[in-house]
Structure 1
Amino acid sequence: MKALLINSAWLFSQKKLSKQFHHLLDDCKKVQEAKLTEYLKKNADTEFGKKYDFKNIKSYQEYVKAVPIIEDYSDIEPYIENMKEGKENVLFPGKPSFFETTSGSGSSPKFIPYNNDLKNEFKAAVAVWMWDLYRLDPKIFSGKAYWSLSPAMKELDKTSGGIAVGTADDSDYFDPFTALLLKEIFAVPSELHKITDSHSFYVKTWQHLLHNSNLTFISVWSPQFLIRLIDFLIENLVEILSLSNCGLSRETMIKKAVFDKNLNLEMLFPSLRLISCWTAGQSKIWLKKLYDISGNIPVQGKGLLSTEGVLSISIGLDKHLLAYTSHFYEFKNEKGEVYRADKILHGETYEVIITTGGGLYRYNTHDLVKCSGFHKSVPCLEFLGRSGNVSDLVGEKIAESSLAEIFEQALKIFPNIEALYLYPEQHQSKANYLLIIESPLAVETEQIVSFVETELFNNPYYKQAIDSGQLGRISTFKVEKNFTRKLTQHYQSVKKIKDGDLKLPLLFPPNFLAPILK
């Protein structure tokens, strides 16, 4: 009953923002123009605003003419460095509340500044999502919720200017009232976020989860994280049950399910109503495993949200609308032509460019989306992947976004496959690709390679590279179960990415996997 009352109070606090979003669905262009005008006016006296003369920009066309697209984080890094040192009024008025990091090139993270404006823009999107979930199934909000937490990569840090890097817990992303309510309905306390030891983190997570049999909602980013969570329970069952105090009958049920190899989330949490996680892009290859562990619980594809900003909002189980009341958006097509949200075309593919209250101006996210239609005047977006991950040894141009589609089909055709990865090899005479096949069982290696190569031949650049002899045919490397675990640890170590934020690539650069393929 307490969880229901707190959920109701939280939902009520989100109602106004959701109502505004739905009320303005016919006015996407007008709302976007107002957002841009607001940014230009509010930030005119900042260092960035003065450099690009925000005070004298009166239209979108003038904004495009005055401000270049930021194609790479290094273009704004000097501004960020000044903010880290404590300088005020650089990209937005005042100083950042904190910085959040996200993976950059090599092992160097990108520092993204957060202020109250950016937090409110995230809140506007979350409010729409929450109210839609309530309309979808009110019982989602009748019990406790698990929102993804990850073990900390390191202790919280500060910049040279004394500004926090990262947050003490996830409630820092919300206003104080919302944060207070969320702490009451979270099945797992946000303090666990501070634990740096991965084993201890997962043990304590399961202690809290198993104590909350009334769990009704799970929200994680990567489906791989949820799969890892279940695997950890199975691998450490005795230790977890000895500490969980979840009741004898429940313990017996869990042990039997593990012994029978049919443990799933529906069985563990009989009140569970919905699982929300990424289901698009490279996450597609984990969906088969996800459905195996979800039982009959519905899975909602999460909207496109990154450290830099929010791009789309989940509506229903499989529709994603542009978060048009949060930021100002532009879309760049394959020809390099840039359009506002109201001008993009159904069926076309674009990179998303954002301007936010957090001081990012015409920042190319390099998230690749397809316009799958419109809801009134607002575009519906399908996430395809990251535009930047393209392998091009000899002009073959293999994009990870296309590879995800091929691997998704391969996993359906060959059910014994656990995972697939593609890795370029360069030799003195010729380059080729290595198809890494993870499976604990015997698999039809030749048929799998034939299927993948046939699909890749639909890419004319790849076919030309093979036909010209510049690129050799695909070779294979079969690995046993748990290769993905080892690969994940290596990738996270290099990129400094937490478990819950992980988007494991399917396509790797040359030499990246050398340490684990020995």
Structure 2
Amino acid sequence: MALINGITRKVAHKFTHKVAQNLSSRGYKQFCKALAQPQAVQREKLSSLLKVIAPSVSGKKYNLSSSLFYEEFIRKVPITEYSDWAEQIDKARAGSSKELSIEANERFQPTSGSTSKIKWIPYTQSFLNELDAAISPWMMDMYMHHPGMLKGTHYWSLSWMPTELRRTISGAVNDDLKLLPWWKRLFMGLTSSVPEGVSLADTSEDSQFATLCYLLADKSLSFLSVWSPTFALTLFDNIIKHKLELVSVLATGKWGERAPALPGLKCPRSQ
């Protein structure tokens, strides 16, 4: 029975990946076409961005207009850091409209760096569309050059919620799948090595531990993608740090002392 289930999963994964590959082909072709005239494409991108930024508070601050050429734009707008935008971002989070652009913010994603405290990155629908447009050609290229990806599960980690924020903000902010269009969400759900529920653990450490358990137990894992190299290095270092606990959990299929922090999440078990 285990052999039959294993074969069934492999067939399902390959079929799902093939469907995703076909759906990604359009974005791949558009990207390849744009490569023939990158300057024209980028100037058009700047123009479309300025149309939603120019009427905003930040646009008026720098006296921007939708008709600006790139050469004029770089003279008007200096290189800035997050601290230059923090006050306006805080106002936008509090409900003030048209601070950064006239487009609505779908979410504010918390992230942190090595030099400062938590930063809140505004995500508009246009930005999400840009992410989606980048994913399709990238995945198509990966499928073509690494066909082994078609045979197994994938692990994606785009963002990670700091422990201190987990009980204070919407769960949607901690769900990277909600960044994608419906068919990519379906694909990710069907081929993901790690269930979405790990992001809802009490602490980031518990989430990382559960993630490791799923990854180590998954014999069909064929692809890893992480937004932050630091996150990946920390994750892999924890294999050594928690090796005895990992062995115990994977051998028994029980979370042990971590069970209260991982409610409703089925524990994986090594086969």
TM-score bucket (shorter structure): 0.7 to 0.9
8 Å Cα contact 1:142-1:216 kept in structure 2? yes
Give the CA deviation at 1:67: 2.3
Give the structure 2 partner of residue 516 of structure 1: none
1:37 to 47, 60, 67: 47
Paired with 2:82 and 2:171, the residues of 1 have a C-alpha distance of 18
Give the structure 1 partner of residue 256 of structure 2: none
1:151–1:207 distance in 2 versus 1, CA, 3 Å:
farther
Give the structure 2 partner of residue 75 of structure 1: 84
Give the structure 2 partner of residue 246 of structure 1: 270
Give the structure 2 partner of residue 86 of structure 1: 95
1:165–1:102 distance in 2 versus 1, CA, 3 Å:
farther
Q: Which has the higher contact order (CA 8 A, sep 6+)?
A: 2
1:151-170 alignment, distance < 5 Å: 152-154=162-164, 155-158=166-169, 167-170=173-176
8 Å Cα contact 1:86-1:95 kept in structure 2? no
Give the counterpart letter for 2:70 in structure 1. Answer: Y
**TM-score computed with the length of structure 1 as normaliser:** 0.43
Give the CA deviation at 1:207: 4.2
8 Å Cα contact 1:192-1:205 kept in structure 2? yes
Give the counterpart letter for 1:157 in structure 2. Answer: T
Deviations 1:305-332 (A, max 9, x none): xxxxxxxxxxxxxxxxxxxxxxxxxxxx
Give the structure 2 partner of residue 214 of structure 1: 220
Paired with 2:120 and 2:160, the residues of 1 have a C-alpha distance of 19
In structure 1, stretches of 5+ residues that fail to align are 159-163, 248-518
8 Å Cα contact 2:154-2:192 kept in structure 1? yes
1:151–1:235 distance in 2 versus 1, CA, 3 Å:
farther
Give the counterpart letter for 1:143 in structure 2. Answer: G
Bigger proportion of residues as helix? 2
Give the CA deviation at 1:79: 1.5
Paired with 1:200 and 1:241, the residues of 2 have a C-alpha distance of 18
Confirm whether residue 130 of structure 1 aligns to residue 154 of structure 2.
no
Q: Specify the SS of the correspondent of 2:188.
A: helix
Paired with 2:28 and 2:65, the residues of 1 have a C-alpha distance of 32
Q: Which has the larger radius of gyration?
A: 1
Q: Specify the SS of the correspondent of 1:55.
A: coil
**TM-score computed with the length of structure 2 as normaliser:** 0.77
Confirm whether residue 191 of structure 1 aligns to residue 197 of structure 2.
yes
Confirm whether residue 177 of structure 1 aligns to residue 187 of structure 2.
no
Deviations 1:174-203 (A, max 9, x none): 123211221111011022011134564345
Confirm whether residue 111 of structure 1 aligns to residue 120 of structure 2.
yes
Give the structure 2 partner of residue 262 of structure 1: none
1:200–1:61 distance in 2 versus 1, CA, 3 Å:
closer
Give the structure 1 partner of residue 26 of structure 2: 16
8 Å Cα contact 2:163-2:202 kept in structure 1? yes
Give the counterpart letter for 1:204 in structure 2. Answer: A
1:205 to 204, 211, 218: 211
Percentage of matched positions with identical amino acids: 27
1:69-468 alignment, distance < 5 Å: 69-70=79-80, 72-103=81-112, 108-148=117-157, 152-154=162-164, 155-158=166-169, 167-197=173-203, 200-220=206-226, 221-222=228-229, 223-232=232-241, 234-236=243-245, 237-243=247-253, 244-247=268-271
Paired with 1:238 and 1:165, the residues of 2 have a C-alpha distance of 30
Paired with 1:52 and 1:85, the residues of 2 have a C-alpha distance of 23
Give the CA deviation at 1:170: 1.6
Give the counterpart letter for 1:50 in structure 2. Answer: K
Give the counterpart letter for 1:212 in structure 2. Answer: D
Deviations 1:245-274 (A, max 9, x none): 333xxxxxxxxxxxxxxxxxxxxxxxxxxx
Root-mean-square deviation (CA), in Å?
2.6
Deviations 1:107-152 (A, max 9, x none): 5322110111111111222222211111112221222112237575
8 Å Cα contact 1:187-1:215 kept in structure 2? yes
Give the counterpart letter for 2:168 in structure 1. Answer: D
Give the CA deviation at 1:27: 1.1
* Number of corresponding residues: 241
Bigger proportion of residues as strand? 1
8 Å Cα contact 1:99-1:166 kept in structure 2? no
Give the CA deviation at 1:10: 2.1
Give the CA deviation at 1:44: 2.7
Q: Specify the SS of the correspondent of 2:21.
A: helix
